[in-house]
Structures are given as C-alpha cells and as structure tokens.
Amino acid sequence: MVALPIDEIKRLLDLHPKSPSIRYQYGTAGFRTLGKVLDPVLFRVGVLAGLRSKKLDGKVIGVMVTASHNPEPDNGVKLVDPRGEMLESAWEIHATNLANAATTDDFVAALEDFVKLAKIDLSKPARVVFARDTRPSGPALVASLKDGLQAIGAETRDGGITTTPVLHYLVRTMNTKGTSASYGDDSEEGYITKISTAFKNLVAGKAALAPLTIDCANGVGAKTGQQFQDALKDTLPIVLENTNGVLNENCGADYVKTSQKLPPSLETVLQAGQRACSLDGDADRLIYYYLDERRQFHMLDGDKITALTASFIVDLVKASGLEQKIKVGVVQTAYANGSSTKYLTERLPVKCVSTGVKHLHHAAEHYDVGVYFEANGHGTVLFSPQAEDTIRNHKPSTPAQSTTQTHLINTIDVINQTVGDALSDMLLVEIVLAHKSYSGAEWDSLYADLPNRLVKVVVGDRNAFKTEDAERRLVSPVGLQAKIDELVRKYEGGRSFVRPSGTEDVVRVYAEAALRPQADELAFRVAGLVYDEAGGDPVNRPREFL
Ligand code: 16G
Ligand code: MG
C-alpha cells in the first residue's frame, strides 16, 4: 500500500497558510474571489488535481487559473476532467472541504479521510496540465499550485498563458493521444492548425470575408486571436482591439451583454454595418454586434448564435441525406430570450436547464448533435461519437451530398467540443455568414429579441432562494412566486424569474416584455418584491424598485 507523502505535504503546505476568517466555495465556476486571498486554495487544488488523476488511473486532469469576465483583481481556479469537461460535481464538495481545512493537521486529516472515502489508489500515477490567463496575480498563484502538485508527486505540464478553451483542448488531446479517439495534436499550435484548416476548407470558394473586429477584453484572447490572425491571414481579416488595457474594464462580452452597449473604445473604430464581436477575459464567451446606418447598436448574443449555427447544421445534415439518422437538438437556460425559444421550438427539440455550463453540456450530450449556448455567449456544439461515425462513414449518393458531408466533417473540426470557445465559435459564425451571404442585420432578422432587463438584489441570505423547473420558478421563500406571477400577468409578453447567483452574493432578477419600458418596470418591480421579502430596509429601498 502506497501512503500519502505526509511529510512533504506538510512541509509545502506550511508555506501556504490559510486565514481563519475566509471561507472558500467551489461554485459553478470553481473557486473565485480576490486573487490576493487565493494562495492557500491553489496549493490544495494542486493536491486535489493529483488525486483526481490517480483516481482516474493516471488520466490527465486540467487546472485553469482564471476569473473569466470578473475584474482584474479577482482570480479563480477550476479543474477540468479527462475529456475536457468540467470536474464531476460530486467532487466539488471535497474541493470545498479541503480548501477550508483550517490548519496543516486538519488538511492532512481531511485528505486521509477523502482518500479512503473515494477509494483512491495512491500507487497510480498523477498527471496534470495547467494554464493561466493574463491576470497579474496569476504567476504567484501558479507557483502555489505547483507546490501542491509537487507535494502529491504529480507529473506536470505547464500550458503557460492561454485561454480556458485551449486548456480544455489540451486535456482532451493529451488523453486521447495515439488512440482512435484522438482529438488532435496536443499543443497550442495543434489547436490553431486544426481549427484554422477546417475554417479555410469551409470558406473556400465563398466571397471574400469583410474584416472582423474582435474586442479581446484586454485578456488572453488577444494572444490566441493573434495566432488565428496569423494562421488565417486574408481568409478572414481580423482586427484586434482591447488587447492590453485593464482586463474586462468597459469592454468584453460580459460588459456588452449586461449593458447592451458597444464598448466605448470601439465607438470611433467601428463603421456602420461592420460586424464585430467581444470575447471575455478567458475567451470562452462570445457576443456579436453591429451598428446600423443610424449607428444604432444591435447585439447578437448566445441565443442568436444558437439560431444561426443550429439551422446551418440542420441544413447540412438534410442536404447530406442524413436527416433520418441524425437529430439535432438545442439546450438553453431560462435566460434565453423568449423570442429565441419560440423561434427554435418551431424548428427543433429544445430543452431548458439550470444556469451553468455543466448543466447545458450534459443535456446536449443526449442529442446526436446538441447545440447549446447560454444567452451570455458561452456555448458549443456536441456531436455524439455515433453521430460523428455516421457522418464520417456515410456513403453519399450524389456529388452535392458528398460536398455537404465534407462540410459537416470540417464543421466538427472547427468546433471545440470540450467547452464553449469564443474564437472557435466566432469562426463557426463566420462560416455560416459566408455560406448564407448574411450581413449582421440579416442574421439579426431571424427573430426580434424581446426587450429584457437583468437586475441584481443584495439580500441577507441568498440561500433562502430556492428554485425548480430549471430555475424558472421559486419554491422558497414560500409565496413569493405567486406574487411574481400576479405581477407578470399585467405585462404583455411578460416573463420574469428570480434565482440566487452561483458566483456572487446576490439574487438575480430577469424580466422581459413586449416593450422596453415594460421590461424595465417589470424587472424593477419583481426586484422590489425580492428586496421586501428578504427584509430589506424600507428607508434605503432603491428608488427604481417601485
Ligand atoms: C459561471 C458559469 C456560467 C454561468 C454563470 C452564471 C461555468 C463555467 N460558468 O460563469 O455558465 O452563466 O456562472 O453566473 O459554468 P451567476 O450564477 O452568477 O448568475
Ligand atoms: Mg469566461
């Protein structure tokens, strides 16, 4: 029996003491908080990643150090499972427990219990690949992570500074290397080459694409964006903006989606009619937009990306003669605009699940081809292994079918199936626009978004808010849902729901209605109900919560 290297763990852990006053939680997006308090967490995550790999017989586990779209002083860390998917949820609680062990002895005791409980064979090897985004707190946090990995004796690979989706790609390719399920070459160059080659194949013979402006959120997407720029050259002229200012400040996908505005830095850059898109800080979210002739801003969010790309894939499946064998379905969350859900349900099976990538990803795995995007721009397309085989082995009966079959195969390669990938998704969008000869306005006209509004309410205890039906209804506090229903009935096209955030200590209120002022009013009135319910101080009640 191989035992835990207790002395080595203790020696290194003592270098990363935990403050007794801080409680950490492995939430929807891993651990995420101020970068300066994360040092002890990174060490412990290193140990846990090693154990996760041992548990899975030495398969490579990924660790990404990022806080995505959050402000620059924040940071975070999340684990990636062997196929490039999020850490199995059952382990989240163990991550939380280990991160909160108060002293070195407590940590070692918790570790020993966990190894027994999870039946981890410590004689197995541990292999971990890690990467970080561009945050200033990154290098020190990675150093702490490396101590944790050393303590558990893991074999490591440093993926350097790269996007979250590249790290997920590395995990998958390292684990499938040399097998029939090989996902590509296990390097960043392999990633760029695989995707850009498929892109070039798909736009060959189409009219030249107009330049595309990318707002890089001053994040790591600028680096990967540059690599695509070099690989694609004139096939897709790329203009990179917001490449080295303050991360996520007044720019990026989250800024655009939340404020429903153009990043101010693009105001002088973007011409009317020209399309542009924003990435978030770790390049796993994508929002498109354009200005019309009157320089009015129009946003094309995750829902519009679903509508565009899902119909493209459905058309290719049909044209290849595979309609009977391959069913395409869509996964959304309650945040999907009501118009998008209507548009999609008229055409395809659509499922609604709770917020968070892992819920969407798992639901999408149930279709032959599952297209999922959150309205915030995070998403991808999953092809089941059987669907992929069917597509690759299909015997076309006409030259036209053969062409669309090749298009489908290239589409599979352009997509990063491990996780939402802003740059790969962006290229997929560009392919569809090229194939359909759509401008941004034509794409936008697939359906008209219902005006909507998202409001945050600070409450004493967000855990008092519990939901059901994919977060569309509140079960607790008791009685609040009935009040919301009563209010919603007064608004034409009204819909509203309330859920506790998984990443911030707030409750979120979403509302939509046929007209802009009504959507705003409904959101604020529901927020008022939440505020009162949570015992908010009537004197300081925000004025807009009517
Ligand atoms: C995290 C989730 C994202 C979700 C968001 C909701 C992952 C990798 N990311 O960023 O999918 O939309 O949280 O945040 O799962 P909220 O719970 O604060 O509204
Ligand atoms: Mg992100």
* 468 in the same domain as 539: yes
Averaged pLDDT for residues 346-373: 97
Q: Which ligand is nearest to the CA of 503?
A: 1
Confidence of residue 19 (pLDDT cuts 50, 70, 90): very high
pLDDT of residue 164: 98
Å from CA of 87 to ligand 1 middle:
15
State if residue 285 touches ligand 1 by the CB under 6 angstroms criterion: no
Q: Report yes or no on 459 lying in a domain.
A: yes
State if residue 85 touches ligand 1 by the CB under 6 angstroms criterion: no
Residues 6+ apart with CB under 8 A from 478: none
CB 456 within 8 A of CB 484: no
The answer to whether 489 is a known ligand-binding residue is no
Q: Report yes or no on 174 lying in a domain.
A: no
Å from CA of 383 to ligand 2 middle:
22
The CA-CA-CA angle for residues 169, 175, 379, to 5°, reads: 30
CB 152 within 8 A of CB 9: yes
pLDDT of residue 482: 98
The answer to whether 230 is a known ligand-binding residue is no
pLDDT of residue 433: 98
Q: Report yes or no on 166 lying in a domain.
A: no
402 catalytic per annotation: no
CB 374 within 8 A of CB 335: yes
Catalytic entry in 19, 21, 53, 68 = 68
What does the block give as tokens for 134? Answer: 């561009």
State if residue 508 touches ligand 1 by the CB under 6 angstroms criterion: yes
State if residue 501 touches ligand 1 by the CB under 6 angstroms criterion: yes
The answer to whether 499 is a known ligand-binding residue is yes
pLDDT of residue 28: 83
State if residue 145 touches ligand 1 by the CB under 6 angstroms criterion: no
* 250 in the same domain as 273: yes
CB 113 within 8 A of CB 101: no
Residues 6+ apart with CB under 8 A from 522: 453, 487, 488, 491, 494, 496, 511, 512, 513
* 461 in the same domain as 438: no
Tokens 């659509």 correspond to: 350
State if residue 502 touches ligand 1 by the CB under 6 angstroms criterion: yes
Is 0.85 topped by the overall pTM?
A: yes
State if residue 258 touches ligand 1 by the CB under 6 angstroms criterion: no
- The closest-lying atom of ligand 1 relative to the alpha carbon of residue 503 is 18
Residue 440's CB is within 10 A of a number of other CB atoms, namely 20
CB 80 within 8 A of CB 86: yes
- In angstroms, the CA 119 to CA 55 distance is 8
Residue 209's CB is within 10 A of a number of other CB atoms, namely 18
- The closest-lying atom of ligand 1 relative to the alpha carbon of residue 508 is 19
Å from CA of 304 to ligand 2 middle:
19
State if residue 419 touches ligand 1 by the CB under 6 angstroms criterion: no
Q: Report yes or no on 58 lying in a domain.
A: yes
Q: Report yes or no on 306 lying in a domain.
A: yes
**Average pLDDT of the chain to the nearest whole number:** 97
Q: What are 281-316's pLDDT values in tens digits?
A: 999 999 999 999 999 999 999 999 999 999 999 999
Q: What are 427-465's pLDDT values in tens digits?
A: 999 999 999 999 999 999 999 999 999 999 999 999 999
* 490 in the same domain as 459: yes
- In angstroms, the CA 342 to CA 355 distance is 19
* 234 in the same domain as 101: no
Here the contacts of 70-74 (C-beta below 8 Å, separation 24 or greater) are 70/32, 70/248, 70/281, 71/247, 71/248, 71/249, 72/135, 72/136, 72/246, 72/247, 72/248, 72/249, 73/34, 73/35, 73/36, 73/137, 74/32, 74/33, 74/34, 74/35, 74/135
Check which CATH number belongs to the domain holding 238 and give it. Answer: 3.40.120.10
DSSP conformation letters of 236-303: S-EEEES-SSSTTTT-HHHHHHHHTS--GGGTTTPPTT-EEEEE-TTS--EEEEEE-TT--EEEE-HH
- In angstroms, the CA 262 to CA 251 distance is 8
Q: Report yes or no on 288 lying in a domain.
A: yes
Q: What are 115-174's pLDDT values in tens digits?
A: 999 999 999 999 999 999 999 999 999 999 999 999 999 999 999 999 999 999 999 999
The helix (run of H) or strand (run of E) holding residue 414 is: helix 399-414
Nearest residue (by CA) to ligand 1, atom 10, is 29
Å from CA of 287 to ligand 2 middle:
12
- Which residue, 119, 142, 161, sits at the end of a domain? 161
The answer to whether 374 is a known ligand-binding residue is yes
Give SS3 for 345.
helix
User: Could you give the number of structural domains in the chain?
Assistant: 4
* 47 in the same domain as 26: yes
* 221 in the same domain as 78: no
* 493 in the same domain as 373: no
- Which residue, 299, 325, 351, sits at the end of a domain? 299
- The closest-lying atom of ligand 1 relative to the alpha carbon of residue 357 is 15
State if residue 355 touches ligand 1 by the CB under 6 angstroms criterion: yes
pLDDT of residue 537: 86
Residues 6+ apart with CB under 8 A from 360: 331, 332, 333, 353, 372, 373, 374, 379
State if residue 504 touches ligand 1 by the CB under 6 angstroms criterion: yes
Å from CA of 355 to ligand 1 middle:
6
Q: Report yes or no on 170 lying in a domain.
A: no
3-state secondary structure 488-531: HCCCCCCEEEEEECCCCCCEEEEEECCCHHHHHHHHHHHHHHHH
The answer to whether 503 is a known ligand-binding residue is yes
Q: Report yes or no on 36 lying in a domain.
A: yes
- The closest-lying atom of ligand 1 relative to the alpha carbon of residue 376 is 12
State if residue 29 touches ligand 1 by the CB under 6 angstroms criterion: yes
The strand pairing partners of 468, in sequence order, are 473
Check which CATH number belongs to the domain holding 522 and give it. Answer: 3.30.310.50
CB 426 within 8 A of CB 433: no
Domain with 477, as residue range(s), is: 452-545
CB 480 within 8 A of CB 509: no
Residue 325's CB is within 10 A of a number of other CB atoms, namely 14
Q: Which of 269, 228, 214, 208 is nearest to 433 (CA)?
A: 208
* 336 in the same domain as 436: yes
pLDDT of residue 208: 93
Q: Which of 266, 336, 327, 270 is nearest to 301 (CA)?
A: 336
- Which residue, 405, 427, 444, sits at the end of a domain? 444
* 23 in the same domain as 149: yes
pLDDT of residue 14: 97
Q: 482-493 burial by CB neighbour count: b if 16+ within 10 A, else e?
A: ebbeebbeebee
pLDDT of residue 543: 85
The type of residue at 230 is: D
Å from CA of 546 to ligand 1 middle:
29
Which of 163, 168, 287, 355 to probe ligand 1 with, by most ligand atoms within 8 A of CB? 355
Nearest residue (by CA) to ligand 1, atom 4, is 356
Confidence of residue 1 (pLDDT cuts 50, 70, 90): confident
Å from CA of 283 to ligand 2 middle:
6
Å from CA of 25 to ligand 1 middle:
14
- In angstroms, the CA 380 to CA 529 distance is 36
* 424 in the same domain as 477: no
The answer to whether 282 is a known ligand-binding residue is yes
Pairing of strands 379-383, 369-373: antiparallel
* 319 in the same domain as 438: yes
Q: What are 502-545's pLDDT values in tens digits?
A: 888 899 999 999 999 999 999 999 999 999 998 888 888 888 88
Averaged pLDDT for residues 62-83: 98
Q: Which ligand is nearest to the CA of 79?
A: 1
Which of 79, 248, 503 to probe ligand 1 with, by most ligand atoms within 8 A of CB? 503
Residue 338, pLDDT > 80, answer yes
